Structure 1
Amino acid sequence: MEPILQLESARLVLRQWRDSDLPEFARMCADPQVMRYFPAPLDRLESAALIGRIRGHFAEYGFGAWALERKDSGEFIGLTGLMNVGFDADFTPAVEIGWRLAREHWGLGFASEAAWTALRCGFDRLQLEEIVAFTTEANLPSQKVMQAIGMHYDPLRHHVLYRITRAQWLDTLHG
């Protein structure tokens, strides 16, 4: 499939990534407020690696997470897009819609506008049958965007997490 290189909405351009996006993207991904619902903020190398994975997704599938740019200023403000879910769950295989915006662009409707544009691409151009979104229960801002673009709540099964440290494992062996 030929990659979908660019989409537009009233105020935004959803476009391919440029090398010049890295400094602002890395700043955004290092912001503890922006990353508060993720395991940890990303450093510059991790941000660059994420851009690389996104580019790879575009090359393989023809779509992915586009860089977000304001039409009025040309400013990079984040990402929005569609990605194949990369893990096994009750709802996979699936395509996920996601977004991440720099803090100074929150509360202006950009996330919903960009997500709506990505949804339209997913259903009209890619002919997807379903698109999912997921987040933590505490991430009310993203849930609000999900609702604003017409998504419907579908509770996930509760999960449990088990851990073992190396020391615990050694204790078990010598137990």
Structure 2
Amino acid sequence: MAELRTARLVLRGWREADLEPWAAMNADPEVRAYFPDVLTREQSEASVAAFQADLDERGWGWWAVEVLATGEFIGFTGLDPVDEDMPFTGVEAGWRLARPAWGYGYATEAATAALAFGFASLELPEILAVTAATNLRSQAVMRRIGMTYDPADDFDDPTVPDGPLRRSVVYRMPAERQRALGR
């Protein structure tokens, strides 16, 4: 399994000690504001098991994110194949951090590392990022990491119930753009 390091972060496999802070994050309505629901502890535990299974099986996926200087678990970042029920295919980048980790540039730093891995190690032709149209903070990260938006890609997420979170946007980063940015 690949472990990624940045100046301040480690993107690594999941540990048993990650479960409590991960479950707390997923139970936080503010962290889950752009998802239909918060998660129960059991749902959080199942997601960690699935994330680690993917990392073990293919060597990449949703990595746990740890602050290098302190060893503190702060969330997750990574790459994952787009779900089959989406109106497009490819590999998606994503991130979710605990509220105390917001505002320090960690999402941008971790996402940049995940993109670099996807292009250099997996030789992906393109990486996508998807979020609710109302999630402006996540879209700001997408722009900071060099992704571009085309309104023609907007769609109603079939996995989200009708309501304000269903309309979604797609940002894209082709490999050529990543190379042009020198990352």
TM-score (norm 1): 0.85
Q: 1 CA distance for matches of 2:63 and 2:73?
A: 11
**Contact 2:12–2:63 (Cα < 8 Å) also in 1:** yes
**Contact 2:26–2:40 (Cα < 8 Å) also in 1:** yes
Corresponding position: 1:141 with 2:140: no
**Contact 2:80–2:91 (Cα < 8 Å) also in 1:** yes
Q: How many pairs are equivalent?
A: 158
Query: In the alignment, which residue of structure 2 is the partner of 1:71?
Result: 68
Q: 2 CA distance for matches of 1:48 and 1:77?
A: 16
Structure 1 portions without partners, runs of 5+? 164-175
In the alignment, which of 116, 121, 143 is matched to residue 120 of structure 1?
A: 116
Structure number with greater Rg is 1
**Alpha-carbon offset, residue 20 of structure 1:** 1.1
**Equivalent position SS for 1:72:** coil
Query: In the alignment, which residue of structure 2 is the partner of 1:38?
Result: 35
Structure 2 portions without partners, runs of 5+? 162-183
Listed as ranges, the matches of 1:47-66 within 5 Å are 47-66=44-63
In the alignment, which of 67, 82, 89 is matched to residue 85 of structure 1?
A: 82
Moved over 4 A (4+): none
Query: In the alignment, which residue of structure 1 is the partner of 2:128?
Result: 132
In the alignment, which of 96, 99, 105 is matched to residue 92 of structure 2?
A: 96
**Equivalent position SS for 1:133:** strand
In the alignment, which of 8, 15, 23 is matched to residue 12 of structure 2?
A: 15
Q: 1 CA distance for matches of 2:119 and 2:110?
A: 14
Letter in 2 for 1:61: R
Q: Percent identity between the aligned chains?
A: 50
Corresponding position: 1:29 with 2:26: yes
